[in-house]
Amino acid sequence: MIPKVFREVIDLGDGREISIETGKLAKQAHGSVVVQSGKCMLLCTVVSNYEQKDLNFLPLTVDYREKFAAAGRYPGGFFKREARPSDGEVLTMRLVDRVLRPLFPKDYHSETQVMIQLMSHDPEVMPDAMAGLAASAAIQLSDFPFECAISEARVGRVNGEFVINPTPAQMEESDLDMMIGASADSVMMVEGEMDEISEEEMADAIKFAHEAIKVQCAAQLRLAEAFGKKAVREYEPEREDLDLEKKVHDMAYDKVYAIAKAGSAKHERSAAFQQIKEDIKATFSEEELADYGGLVSDYYRKAEKAAIRDLTLNEGLRLDGRKTDEIRPIWCEVDYLPSTHGSAVFTRGETQALATVTLGTSRDANQIDMPSQEGEERFYLHYNFPPFCTGEARPIRGTSRREVGHGNLAQRALKGMIPADCPYTVRVVSEVLESNGSSSMATVCSGTMALMDAGVQMTKPVSGIAMGLISDANSGKYAVLSDILGDEDHLGDMDFKVTGTADGITACQMDIKVKGLSYEILVNALQQARAGRLHILEKLTDTIAKPNADVKEHAPTMVTRRVPNEFIGALIGPGGKVIQEMQKETETTIVINEDPVTEEGIVEILGVGKKGIDAVMAKIDAILFKPTVGSVYEVKVIKMLDFGAVVEYLDAPGNEVLLHVSELAWERTENVSDVVNMGDVFDVKYFGLDPRTRKEKVSRKALLPKPEGYVARPPRDDKRPSGRDNNRGRDNRGRDNRRDDRKPREDKKED
């Protein structure tokens, strides 16, 4: 018996719809929905254990996976099953997690898992735009303590018009790609890339997406109501003691305020705060600490946060002594590493990133193999955040989700400034060496300089800055903080990272922690971020004003050549013999791709030094060589024959032609060696295909003066008698009636 199915439909306003359905699949989960648009279907399930973990954070796991069967494909690689998530899947997990996590109660510590799976793929639908909707809808059907429905939407702009959840074809024409996460009341998350748009245009895009999200949130509530809204589960809340909270606050607040106002360095400040905490704990007995020592620590952190926020709101001062719009000291250096193709160090305060650039061929492109996306990246950036950069020692367990996310942000910031005609595959790697405040923005800055140092002809340099916000709803006060510290990231109401050129924004990432943030404050914050970006950009261009004209001497030069389709085989050779020998002899890397439109061969030649590349180009010229009728060419004798000499075109080594003995000289030539010898160089005239022999004809004698009194031999008369009966045909060859006179053959005797 098919269970009752509940369904809600969201109209996107342009003929497309999104449906949310529950009641048919995965009913043992605490909440499950199927979200569908076109043929794209996502299954989302949510489960949260009823036991509280002894932790001071929510152990929430958001998992997003795309099944290859959804697109009718097999997984790549040796093992034909889905394994570790791709970077694209990790980025979608992060987008959903960042919106969901703040909406759970701070004292809810049950292990919670959100699983989203692409079960059916539609090439006209981008599934990541519906993942947040699916997660929130499933939670609305559960008994989780969750504040309110949320959703996420992608916004693009095609021909000046904003579009919600655009198709891949529309995204090709869009000048921005933004994902916005929000509830019906407040925007909570923004991430995307843009084509140098203004701060006001960015705010308009956020507003447009928010209106669509309100509709999606309303649909979730209707579905939950129809399905039957469950009572919110009871859970054991964290222990509270208001008297203890006040006592700790009174003991800590003034001391923390004084240290924060002193403007000290990170380690010095951290040590001072730790000492205040230890002094407070020392006022309690061992029995008291055993009973509620954890509360003392929690209340201390709360008092510390309050004191630092008040200092900024009341006096406009920050932990390191800066004013709200002040940028930390910056120093930069390029060409730091002697063996890389490009390198740069960017240091801002206590944050430092070392970026390297490596140049390669299309063979080095980053392959993307997902059910929802296939292709390659010719520009990509990797970000590494080792534990020593924050003075910690911990094991490295592969690339973290954070590293994937920060690297993707920096990549999106820079990729629009890589010219379309850049012949290289470009890989940037950022090694974060120190971190206290946005290392992803330091990566953007060091990456820009390293690219210019490598000779990549960036259209414009890009800089980035991390901003913060501290606000007080009661007083209406707020402070926008430029170039935030790590501590300010945690205690603020908004942290956002903005990258761009002097002319506009290229990428952004925002997490908004305060409800009902006005667009006026948002635009003001973006304008302050622009001033900070331009200040940092000036520091970058003071270090390296423009891209180096050429790559470094030890870096490879790339030359691209187009070859007609019919010559590709000759260039590759049987079993790849020709191209392999060429690469070995010239010490180059040669890659041949086919233009899908013209079907021409696109030959990439990568080599260090001009000599090897010139040799490859000469070989290609030789393979493509086509002599012109009536033209004169210099040739060299490479083989002697009885009936002529084989000569090679000097302009096209490897291209040979027979110079017949009759074309050596005007006089009759008995021996070829009487006229030419091995290694002789001379000119010949090209006559094209000889109509009689159907072979190419060249002549030496055509370029020589005729001897005095020379008489040309008369042309051969093909109809002249030749001593035989020219009237003989196939059936009459001078053997008239021969078969008729022959005696019958005697039968072969039997043994």
Annotated binding site: 489, 495
Distance, in Å, from the CA atom of 203 to the CA atom of 194, rounded to the nearest integer, reads 12
For the chain, first and last CA: distance in Å?
90
Contact 602, 592 (CB under 8 A): yes
Hey, what are 538's tokens?
Answer: 């000036």
Number of CB atoms found within 10 A of residue 709's CB:
5
Under the phi-then-psi rule, with left for phi > 0, alpha for psi from -120 to 50, and beta for the rest, what region is 234?
beta
Distance, in Å, from the CA atom of 28 to the CA atom of 268, rounded to the nearest integer, reads 52
Measured torsion, CA atoms of residues 340, 342, 347, 353, in degrees rounded to the nearest 10: -60
Contact 482, 505 (CB under 8 A): no
Contact 571, 603 (CB under 8 A): yes
Contact 684, 648 (CB under 8 A): no
Contact 314, 399 (CB under 8 A): no
Contact 118, 63 (CB under 8 A): no
Q: Which residues pair with 353 in a beta bridge?
A: 346, 432
Hey, what are 718's tokens?
Answer: 């093909």
How far is C-alpha 567 from the chain's CA centre? 33
The residue assigned the tokens 């699949």 is 25
> CA nearest 447: which of 435, 464, 433?
464
E strands within 642-710? 644-649, 656-660, 681-689, 696-699
Number of CB atoms found within 10 A of residue 586's CB:
21
Hey, what are 457's tokens?
Answer: 């002809």
Distance, in Å, from the CA atom of 481 to the CA atom of 493, rounded to the nearest integer, reads 11
Alpha helices in 44-181 (DSSP H): 87-100, 131-140, 168-173
> CA nearest 20: which of 123, 155, 138?
138
Query: 18 φ, ψ to 5°?
Result: -125, 130
Distance, in Å, from the CA atom of 297 to the CA atom of 303, rounded to the nearest integer, reads 10
Binding residues for Mg(2+): 489, 495
Contact 684, 630 (CB under 8 A): no
Length of the chain as a residue count? 751
Q: 411: part of which helix (H) or strand (E)?
A: helix 401-415
Hey, what are 377's tokens?
Answer: 């990246």
Q: Which residues pair with 6 in a beta bridge?
A: 22
Q: Which residues pair with 659 in a beta bridge?
A: 645
Question: Can you state the percent helix, strand and coil of the chain, rounding each to 5?
Answer: 35, 30, 35
Using the 8-state DSSP alphabet, how is residue 182 labeled? E
| Pairing mode of beta strands 373-377, 379-384 | unpaired
| Angle value at C-alpha 87, between 81 and 88, nearest 5 degrees | 90
Burial of residue 743 (number of CB atoms within 10 Å: 0-12, 13-18, 19+): exposed
Sign of CA dihedral 23, 24, 26, 28: positive
List, as one string, the DSSP characters of 449-507: HHHHHTT---SS--EEEEEEEEE-TTT--EEEEES--HHHHHHSSEEEEEEEETTEEEE
Query: 262 φ, ψ to 5°?
Result: -70, -20
